[in-house]
Amino acid sequence: MTRISKPTPCPCGGNHYAQCCGRFIDQGDIPQTAEQLMRSRYTAYTLHNEDYVKSTWHASTRPAEAVAQDEDTKWLGLEVRKHVPAGDAATVEFVARYKIGGRAHRLHETSRFVREEGRWYYVDGSFFTTK
Ligand SMILES: [Zn+2]
């Protein structure tokens, strides 16, 4: 896991890591929207912060194996396309770009989130195979 201490752009595209996803990942603030949670989870992936990725994953779908530890995956950027809140559920459509061994890939997903006792959790996602 990588630590960021200096003021620095947020991997999710925000201006300042500490005021963007760092609030949630390092300072324990609770994301108020599914989009904030989704962005902070993307950033946690870029930092290989397995604990954060797992703790924000709903217990019903949380995988047992490590998911954010792959140092070969270089995350390049995030674009949130759509955020559809509906009470204690929400969907977020996004495109994340990454490289593995010099090859560029795109992950285009609509993620589902639920809110329980004031906290948002990632449930699962539908993938697009479009280029
Ligand atoms: Zn961020």
Q: How far is the CA of 124 from the centre of ligand 1 (A)?
A: 21
Q: How far is the CA of 24 from the centre of ligand 1 (A)?
A: 9
Ligand 1 ion: Cβ-proximal residues, 5 Å cutoff = 10, 12, 14, 20-21, 39
User: What is the Cα–Cα distance from 76 to 119, expressed in whole angstroms?
Assistant: 28
- According to the model, what pLDDT value does residue 7 have? 72
Q: How far is the CA of 87 from the centre of ligand 1 (A)?
A: 23
Tokens read off for 70: 């792959």
Q: Is 107 helix (H, G, I), strand (E, B) or coil?
A: strand
Q: What is the mean pLDDT of residues 76-95?
A: 97
- According to the model, what pLDDT value does residue 59 have? 97
Q: Is the pLDDT of residue 3 over 90?
A: no
**For the chain, domain boundaries:** 17-128
Q: How far is the CA of 20 from the centre of ligand 1 (A)?
A: 4
**Residue 6: how many other CB atoms lie within 10 Å:** 6
Tokens read off for 116: 């329980």
| CATH class as words, domain 17-128 | alpha beta
Percent composition of the chain: helix, strand, coil (DSSP 3-state, to 5): 20, 40, 40
Q: Rounded to two decimals, what is the model's pTM?
A: 0.91
